[in-house]
Structures are given as structure tokens and as C-alpha cells.
Amino acid sequence: MSDPQAPVKLRQRILNWFHHHPQAKAWSLVLPGGLWLLVFFLAPVLVMFSYSLKERGIYGGVEDGFTVEHYLRFMDRLYLKILWRTVVDATVCTAICLLLGYPTAYVITRGGRLKGLLLFLVILPFWTSFLVRTFAMIFLMRDTGFINTLLLKLGLVTEPIVMLYTPFAVMTGLVYGFLPFMVLPIYSSLEKLDHSLLEAAEVLGARSTRRFLRVTLPLSMPGVVAGCLLVFIPALGSFLTSDLLGGAKEILVGNVVQAQFTSARNWPFGSAASFVLMALVLGAVMIYLRVRDGAEQPAER
């Protein structure tokens, strides 16, 4: 007959083993997430990398073989121009989000009773699909949209302003979509700020501008850098905003990758373009780590 206490004894043995091997206990906590990333992130990335080095099939897909022609093709002047435009747009979007997001986060931290409401308004756009919000931008900026209708009724313009399907529309859509990703990290850093440091600086005679530049801004740099990274990386890979708000006039690398995997059915070239974009993201992360370490060292001293 089986021992009814066997499951209990086995459980106790497992607990005792984990008790004597604390590192194994830590690895057991990491294992589920690690397996998830291995199966659903690393494995697809390796498959895409293998595709980028194979020949394109006659009717789409891939064929066996080895070639680097897809990476060489991306070095063409046309694609380098698209890549440069993508980097510039992502950088400008990040800068605009920083200029708008930092004052917003600063005001929220000093909002008093309205702090919760202001923070709720920042998070509110996440309750709606990004696609729906992008279509809302179309209704706002088209020739017969709300903005032009209002300007015409007020007599400020005599004919509709062309906003849709322009670089301005694309940049507006990018900033609108990614601004909360800048506000939230900066808000988190400012919320943790020790106000006694500001009071000490005021006692020592520092004016408000100097207190901000010498105390507030340096201590909030981790949030600033994190926010810039959270905006810059998604903006690099964005394709929906430029597709809907820019039409065919504003093509980014994300549009190239999306087209290669859908209409063009050129999976190897799409994979190669994806890895070039991934290299840019990796470079942005490395820069982030260096800037973050530089921002944290003065605080540790």
C-alpha cells in the first residue's frame, strides 16, 4: 500500500533542499519568466536572424542557402535615407516629449489634492486603443475636421490648413502617443525627491532657478533618461502613425519592415531591416546605461 504521507514528505524534502540551497530558490523564481522569454522572444529572434541570411523564395517565404545580400541591400541610399529620417523623427519626438513631459510631471507632483486627478488624466489615453486614438487624430486634422472647422468659423483662416498627410501630422501623432511614457518616469523620480534638500538650498541662498538646476534636475535625471528611452525605442519602430497620418509621404523603417512581411512577402529582407533597427535600439540602451550610471554616481558620493 502507498504511504498517504508520501506527498507531504516529498514537499518537505523539496522545502528543505531549497532551504539549504538559497541560490536554487532564487533561480526557481526567475525560471518561469526566463522560459517565457526563451520561447516567445529569443527563439523568434533567432528564427528571424536565420531568415535574414537566407534566400528569398520565388513566391515568398525563404529558401535554403546563405547570403548577406539583404543587409547589403539595406545599405542602399534609399533605405539609408529612410533610416536617417526614422532616427531624426524618433529623436525630435523624444525631445518634444521631454520639453512637454517634464513640466507636466513637475506640476503633477505639486498638484496637492488634484495630483490624483492629473495623474489619472495622463494614464487615461491608455484606456483606448492606439489605433482608435490615431483615427481620432485624423478626424481632428483633416480639411473638414474639428481644427479647421473651428479656425474657419472664428475667421482666423480663409481656407483649410493642410495638416493631414504631412510630417507635422506624423510628429504630432508620435508625440501624442508616446508623451505619457515620458511623464510617468519623470513623475516617479520627482515624487521621490527629498524636499529637505530644496529647503537647505533655499536657506543657503539659492534662488528657484538655481535650486532647480543644481538639485531638482540632477536628482530627476534617472527618470529623464528612462523616459527618453521609453519614447525613443517605440518611436524608432513605429509604423502605424506614419502610415495613417503621413500616408505614403512619410515612410519610416517600421513601414519598410511591415511591408516586407505583408505585401512584398520578402521575409529575409524584412528580417534584415528588423535587425538593423534592433542594432539601433541596442545602441540606445547602451547609451542609456552609461548616462544612468553617470547620473547615479554623484548621488552616491
What pLDDT was estimated at residue 269?
A: 94
Cell digits of residue 149: 472647422
Q: Give how many domains the chain has, as a whole number.
A: 1
Residue 67 lies in a domain: no
Q: What is the pTM of this model?
A: 0.82
Residues 110-119 have a mean pLDDT of 86
Residue 133 lies in a domain: yes
For 138-186, what is each residue's pLDDT tens digit?
999 988 888 999 999 998 888 889 888 899 999 999 999 999 999 999 9
For 184-225, what is each residue's pLDDT tens digit?
999 999 988 877 777 787 777 777 788 888 888 888 888 998
Residue 116 lies in a domain: yes
pLDDT at 233 over 60: yes
What pLDDT was estimated at residue 301?
A: 44
What CATH number did the domain enclosing 292 receive?
A: 1.10.3720.10
Residue 165 lies in a domain: yes
Residue 33 lies in a domain: no
Task: Report the sign of the C-alpha dihedral through residues 209, 212, 218, 224, in that order.
Answer: negative
Q: Percent of the chain at pLDDT above 90?
A: 36
Residue 18 lies in a domain: no
pLDDT at 299 over 60: no
Task: Write out the residue range of the structural domain in which residue 182 sits.
Answer: 78-189+219-300
Q: Where is pLDDT greater, at 9 or 54?
A: 54
Residue 189 in contact with residue 219, Cβ under 8 Å?
yes
Mean pLDDT (the chain) is: 85
Residue 40 lies in a domain: no
Residue 245 in contact with residue 167, Cβ under 8 Å?
no
**Which residue reads 498638484 in cell numbers?**
111
Cell digits of residue 294: 553617470
Residue 45 lies in a domain: no
